[in-house]
Structures are given as C-alpha cells and as structure tokens.
A and B are shown apart, each in its own frame.
Chain A
Amino acid sequence: MKFQASQSSLFSAFQTLATIIPTKSPMPVLMHFLVQLTGKKLVVTATDLEISMETQLEVSGEEDGKALFPARKYLELLRELPDVPIHVEAADNGRITLTAEGKNYNLASENVQNYPKVPSLEKVEPLRLSQSQLRRMISKCSFAVSRDELRPQLTGVYAKVSAQELRFVTTDGHRLVKIGYQHNGYKGAALESIVPAKAMQNAARLCEREGDIEMFFTDKQIAFRVGPTTMITKLIEGRYPNYEAVIPSDNKNKLTLDLDQFQAAVRRAAIVSNEISRQIRLKISADNVEILVEDIEQGNEGRESVSCSYAGEPMDIGYNAAYVLDVLKQIDTGEVVLDLGTPTSAGIVKPTEQEEKEDLLMLIMPVRLN
C-alpha cells in the first residue's frame, strides 16, 4: 500500500479515531489503526471491540492495500511533522514508512490478518439531529451514569427513540436525569436501548461542528454518522430499571431559588462538609432556605440563608452537596425549581422554563438526617 496526503488531512482524520484506541489491551492489534486504500479512498478504522469508528479521506493513492498502523507512534509522529505532503508506504513485511521532505521514519507494526472483524453500518432509517442538540443532551445527562459494574445497565445511557421524541435517561440510583427532545421526524422503528457511556462520550466528540448528525438505531447496535465518520457501538444488554415509576407525581412542595445564589451557597457549604459524606442540610421555610453544614470529625461547621419562594410544608432535608452541585450545573435558567415530597423521597429538579422542544427533569435522592 502506498499513498500521499497532506499532514493536516491525515492528522485530523486519524485524530478523530484516537479515543477509540484502548490504552492497554490484551490484544495488541487493537492498539493500531486499520488502514485500507482503494483507489483514492483511504478508510481508517479503530475498535475496542465494543465501539468501532471509521473515517474516510481522499488521498493520492499509488498502490491499493491494507495495513495496521501503530496508533500512538504514528499519530504522534504525524503531529510533529510540518504540514507538507507526506508519503506513506506499508511494506508487505508489515513495516510502515513515513517520508516527508527528507525525513524518513520506519515503524514496526502488527500483521493485518490479526485484526478483528469490525461491524458494518446497517442501513436503517436515520434520525437526523443537529450536532449541537445531541451534544447538549449527552452533556446534560452524563454526570448521573453509574460506575457499578455489577449493575451494567446503569453504566450506560438509556436511549429511546420514537416518532416524536428522542429521550436519554441516566441514573446511578442516587440521582437521575431524563432529557427528551421533540425532533423533526423519524420514520424508523421505535426502539429502546442502553448505550455504553464511552460510546456516548465519543458521540459527543463527533458533534463539534455545525450541521447534523445521523443516528441509526437497530436492536443490536447504534451508529452515529457525521460526514465521512461513522461510529458503531454495541449495546448493553438487559433491561433498564423502570425509571418512570420512580418519578414522583405528587411532590407538592414547590421551591424556587435563584440559581447563582443557591449554587454559590452550596459550593461554600461543600467546602466545609465532611470529605466523605459531603452532607449538607436544607431547612426550607416560606421565604428562605437555610443551608447548614457540619463536619463533626474535623470540627467544621457553617450556615447561610438564601431567599426563596416556597409553597409547601416547612422541610428539613439532607443532601450530598456534590449531587446538588451536579444537578444545578445542568440548569440554564436564572432560577431553579425543586419539587419536593418528603425528606426521604426523591425530589424533582427542573429549570423554570424548558428550552424549545426539550424536556429536562432531574431527580435527586436525599440523605437521611439522623
């Protein structure tokens, strides 16, 4: 295989796939790019067996072929080369040569025959969405993904697509995010799936420009396509917990707070809170919320008040300050609304006004006060 292309076009193409390459793997071939040349079309693939990503670019091809490029060395070399035409050659013995203006580097590589089979895109009806919207949705829900490997379903993002709406749900059992978006139409099958968090993170990385992203849902995989780049991910098997059942419908105590004031106050309280439990306590009355914090072990304590508007019973409720900050960070309106039930049941956190076509709802579970 022989081809020539500019440093910048090569680097940006390979760079897109870099996050898929595992840092450590019992299968060394996975730490390589699979590179295939047919005529002028160079197809580059990376996979960690769960997620695979492919991108294409045009090069001046000289000799068709297929080879593995050692990902790290190749990419770092590319980055350090000036933006000049680079001649790349893969010899039959597996060695990769880069030549550019008198610079010549020769890299050892693995046998291309050992590269695993990579899934291909199934042509189903795509859902088309603006890149910025998908990125926004992923960034709003990502924080609540669980890390409990014994409950693999919770380590992914629940994704539900229907004729009207795309919905993501994440939860770690302590908090939950549900974000829905009324898209412009989808003719494919309505499906529910659980997408690995790493795939969602990579999907968000694909959404860095103007323009749309296409999503292809099937019951075994989800694919994302932006321009010449396609990412396909396996899904997490199993059933997502019944999140609708835990969203309270009768939380009658409605608390509205100035976002900045509240956030700043919780941030201060968090500094003084116990390093492990991060517990803070909210004492809510008609027109103010008192934020109390006490770390008995270190002997630190603090309190401050934030004014609020509150319709409901006076309430004394404990939270993990880190969790409160996490949900507040997702609010884009000047004020935040908390619909509370009891001091031991889930509270709903919402912006005062939803973005157009969007529906964001978060749940936060309290910490029981002793």
Chain B
Amino acid sequence: MTSVASSERNSLPKIRILAENVVNQIAAGEVVERAASVLKELVENSLDAGATRVQIVLKGSGRSLIQVVDDGCGMSRDDLLLAFERHATSKLARAEDLQTVKTLGFRGEALPSIASVSFIEVRSAATGAASGTLLRLEAGRIAHDEPIASNAGTSMAVHSLFFNTPARARFLKSAATELAHLIRIFKQYALAYPEIAWTLTHDDALEYNLPPADLSTRLNDLFGAGFSDKTASLQFEAGGVVVSGVVGLPELNKKSRGNQYLFLNCRPVQSALLHSAVRSALRELLEEGEWPFYAVFLEIAPSELDVNVHPAKLEVKFADEQRVHGALYRAIRSVLTERFVQDSRLAVLPSDAAERSSENPSVAVPQRSDLFSRQTVASSGDMSPLTSGARAPDALSSEQGLLRPAIFQVHGKHLIAQIQSGIAIVDQHAAHERVLFEKAIRSFDERSFHAQQLLFPMLLELDPEMDALFVEVRDDLAKLGFQIRDFGQRTYSVEAVPAGLRRVSESGMIRAMLEEYREFRRARFEPLEALAAGFACHAAIRAGDLLTADEMTALMNELFATRFPLTCPHGRPTVIHVTLSELDRRFKRTE
C-alpha cells in the first residue's frame, strides 16, 4: 500500500494531467451523451444560480452551438476557474451532506466533462462585482482569460461539441432527432419553472418566447392555446408526498410517447414505477398503445430519495416505492374523476327500449322464482316481501320506466349500462364499496350515518388482538352510527348500527370490519381511511345480490357522484369502459 502510494506521489504532476484528460473524456461519455445533455447541465446550472430569465441559443441542432444565458448569481474569476476543475462544485460545500442535496446539480463533473469535448466561451459576472470574466477553453484547456464589463449573470457557450471524439460524434443521430431532444429538455424545464422567462433560438429563429406565468398559461404557451383546458390539474398530499401538475384528458392521448413529463422536486426524472402509477390511474382512458399527456410534479423529502444512481441524474429510487406510487395513483384518480364525470363520457343514457315501449320495463332483472316464469311470478304477488327483506318501499319505484336508464344486471354481480361513448360495465360490489367508503369518510366529519336502534342488542366478545383494534376505532365507529356499550372484559353490546344498510349481516359486521381495518392499516391506509374501507367492504352489496331497477339506477348515480368513482378502496376498478370504437374493432367493423 505505502509503496504504491509513494511511487504515485513521485510521478504525480505528469500523470495527473494525462489522467485528467482521460478521466474527463470518459466522464463526458457518461454525462454528455448528446447535445441535449449539455443543454440540460447548463440549464440546471442557471437554475441553481437563481436565474429569472434563461435564454437558449442553438445552432446546427447543438452541434455548432449550445449557449445558455442567465441572469443568475454569476461567478467570480476564481470560481469560474474552479468550475472547470473536476469535482469542483460549490454545491456540496453548501449542503449538509449528499442526502439532503436539493439543488439540481451536485456532482461537479458536468462542466469539466463538457469542456473536454468542446470549445467553450464563458462570460460571467458575480452579483455586485464591478467587472466580469471572459474565459475561453479548448478541449478543457484554458486558452483565453480576460476581465470584461458585464452585467451579473452567466453566458455559457459550447461550440463544436464532440470535435475531438469522432466516435461520439458519429453516434449522434440525425439533426432533427438531436434537435427534438434539445427541445424536449427545454420543454421539461420550461414546465418545471413557469415563473422563469425562457427563450429559445435555433439557427437565428426565435422558436419559443415564454414570459413568466403559471403552469396552465405555460402549457398553453408551449403546446398551443386551449391546451390546458384539456387537462385536469392535480393537487394531492399524503404521507409526505405532494403531487401537483396536470394529466391530459383522453383527447390528448397519442399513439407515440414523448408527452410524458415527470418531475421530482422540480427535477425532470424518469421512473418506470411512477409512469406505471400514472398509466394504471388512467387505465380506463387509455386505449391499447396510447400514451397520455402528463406533467406531474412530485415533492418528497430528499432523505427519501436516492438520486445519485446515474450521473445524468434521471433515474430515481425511492426509499418507499409503494407510498410514492400510491400517492401519485390516488392523486390522479381523485382529480380525474371530476373531469371524467363532467366529461359525461360515463353518463348513463336512458334506454332506447324505454322510448319504444313504456309499459315494458326495459330491465331484465332475474328473479329468484323466475324459473317457471309467467304463473310463478304472477302468483308470488304479495308474498314477495319474504324474500325482499328491507327493500325500498313501493312508493319509491318508478315502474313506468319513464326516466329509467338502460342498466342491466348480469350474473347477479355486474351492471351493464349504455353510455355516450359505448358501454360501462360496473362491478356492483366494488361500486357500492366506493359509495360507502366516501360516505363513511364524510361521516367522520358530518355524521352522515344515523344510528338505527336495535331491538336485540348484539353481544360482541373480542380476543385481545381484536380488542386492541377495536379500542383504536371505537370513537370513529360511533360516528358511523354504531352505538356500543362496554361490558368490561372485552365484551360489548352493539345497540345501534348504521341506518339504511340493506342486505348486511349486522351481527358479523364489526368483527369483519376490524379484520378489514387491520388489513388496510397494513396496506398503509390512514386510520380513518382504513376504517372507512373496512366498513365499505363489509357493508356493500355483494355478488349474488339481485338488484331492482331502482337500486341499480341509484347505485350508478351514487357511484358517479363520488369523488373517485373509478376504483374501490382496494384500488380495484369499479367500471370497465368499452368504447364503441373498441366494439367496432372487435366486431371487425373498422376500416
């Protein structure tokens, strides 16, 4: 060890210079893949410098010039010289440690790497300084160094990228492709920083001129007037994850990728995990092979991240992937819904049959006694209450079929409805779970469940584990309408249950709810959400419950009045949406 170290020390000066060039060029290959990577590094530096205006000048798709001009804090001559030394970064020194680094760049290898494969001309003046510095570098070597008069800020111009690495140069794709990459980088940062004024010039033509704005204006400025109207904006926070931004409505779906923008703490990132969260949240809106538009911003405490995975800093890893995935998923589901419903793509249409014949109910509800049709059904007459239990009273049914939507129950578990764009298939249990879940959540504040008093209080004896859960949720159960008396020794008497629950086994309810509650807690639901989910799961109608036409209508209406109708609390879909075009395609009617 010692001998190796000392022999290195002897030959250090010479070796160092050689090694540095090599190292820089190797690093360049990693960091500086193409012109767009250079732009990205330069723009990040400007943003880190606190710029409020960033001007980008490109020539020859970045091959001849990539220039970024900012009005940020600038650099003194000393800083400037240091900036082109490998691993010279002012950012780590400022930050407490790698874990909490919040600025965009921090590895301090970008500028030396870029410099090693290009000619650079920098002009920079630190805020408050009397003069600035002009520096020219050729393949990383300082070729020119002079003081100049300059306003605060920095102009970094990278000429003739890859002039000395023909292999890399050949690797570049067509000019159009390279330009597309450059523009994409530009759009990413323009989206992430709408409060900053941006311009982009290519081959002397001003392509973009974006004044400071909010996100929706920025969207319109970047993608065309009216664009933001076709998006739904996100606003969500759960478990330390803040989600904002927008997702596009289906009309913005494209057959090719490229319109997906994902930012983590304002830095553009790629994450298969997060993309899949978006996709699954949007699943009913995406046809096969379609890509949605989104610009999603996540904010997460830096300690929860590992951004140091790749020098290009694009791939991120999360300490708790599930939570981030869940937050993003829920953020989209919750907001999407409102737009989705407004969109009325799922509005149930009245049945065509109802128009044709009003005396014939259009809904074929299979009856228990349907087997021997005519006679049997007729003779069941007034005895039906024996099987119908606590159903809605007759007064509430609209047998005329006047405004009745076309909804059919099949296999005692799915509802099929005709909607504007095709058909919706609803899982009755999941749908009812969603309805009850949201109602329960509201009930914790508003007590929307009333307590139905019971004639025969039900005894509840719990084992220690269940009892511990029970004690946790007891007060909240009361808000759902349960009235429970403590008899001591883990024995309770249930004296009232939530009013109006049809087809529920009241006696087994609390125990089943507690079990569900435990599961949802394990799945990291907040306590109230877990309780509401447990309640909904157990109180909801089940597969096999035959619904009357009115019940089906009510369920559909209630479902689409929820904030979040597309999934049950477990995250399973409530609705499968089959579009007319999909049907046509499957029936081979597409040309």
Where the two chains meet, the residues of A that have a C-beta atom closer than 8 Å to any C-beta of B are 15, 18-19, 21, 23, 72, 75-76, 79, 138-139, 142-143, 145-151, 171-176, 197-198, 200-201, 204-205, 208, 241, 246, 267, 270-271, 274-279, 296-297, 318, 320-323, 325-326, 344-346, 363, 365-370
Contacts and interface: CB of A to CB of B under 8 A. Distances in A.
Given A18-B375, A172-B389, 8 more contacts: A72-B372, A147-B503, A151-B506, A271-B395, A297-B561, A321-B393, A325-B393, A368-B450
B319 interface: no
B379 interface: yes
Contact of A326 (B383, B393, B506): B393
Nearest to A170: B386
B484 to A, nearest CB: 13
A174 B371 contact: no
A367 B499 contact: yes
A174 B454 CA distance: 5
Interface of B: 368-372, 375-376, 379, 382-383, 385-387, 389-396, 439, 446-456, 458, 483, 496, 499-501, 503-508, 554, 558, 561
B441 to A, nearest CB: 13
Nearest to A370: B447
A300 to B, nearest CB: 13
Contacts of B369: 19
A19 B373 CA distance: 11
Contacts of A145: 386, 389
Contact of B370 (A23, A201, A366): A23
A111 B439 CA distance: 54
B393 to A, nearest CB: 4
B500 A277 contact: yes
Given A174-B452, A176-B455, A365-B454, A150 B505 contact: yes
Contacts of B387: 197-198, 201
Contacts of B455: 171, 173-176, 246, 346, 363, 365
B533 to A, nearest CB: 17
Contact of B506 (A148, A204, A208): A148
Contact of B499 (A79, A277, A326): A277
Given A19-B369, A174-B455, A344-B453, A322 B391 contact: yes
Nearest to B370: A23
27 contacts: A19-B372, A139-B382, A142-B385, A143-B386, A146-B389, A147-B389, A147-B390, A148-B508, A150-B508, A151-B507, A171-B455, A172-B389, A174-B455, A176-B455, A241-B456, A267-B393, A270-B393, A270-B395, A276-B499, A276-B500, A318-B450, A320-B452, A322-B396, A326-B390, A345-B453, A366-B453, A367-B453
A195 B208 CA distance: 82
Given A201-B387, A205-B383, A241-B456, A368 B506 contact: no
A142 B380 CA distance: 13
B448 A296 contact: yes
Contacts of B504: 148
Contact of A246 (B456, B496, B501): B456
B371 A18 contact: yes
Contact of B383 (A139, A270, A276): A139
Contacts of A275: 554, 558
A10 to B, nearest CB: 14
A315 to B, nearest CB: 15
A274 B449 CA distance: 10
A296 B391 contact: no
Contact of B453 (A21, A147, A325, A365): A365
A318 B245 CA distance: 46
B167 to A, nearest CB: 68
Given A279-B500, A367-B451, A368-B450, A322 B383 contact: no
A321 B372 CA distance: 34
A142 B450 contact: no
Contacts of B392: 278, 322
A204 B379 CA distance: 10
Contacts of A241: 456
Nearest to B495: A344
Given A15-B372, A205-B379, A370-B447, A173 B389 contact: no
Contacts of B376: 18-19
Contacts of A76: 372
A345 B496 CA distance: 11
Contacts of A277: 449-450, 499-500
A15 B375 CA distance: 9
Contacts of B499: 276-279, 320, 367
A139 to B, nearest CB: 6
A146 B452 CA distance: 15
B129 to A, nearest CB: 65
Contacts of A18: 371-372, 375-376
A367 B393 CA distance: 17
A197 B395 contact: no
Contacts of A296: 446, 448
A142 B382 CA distance: 10
A176 B454 CA distance: 11
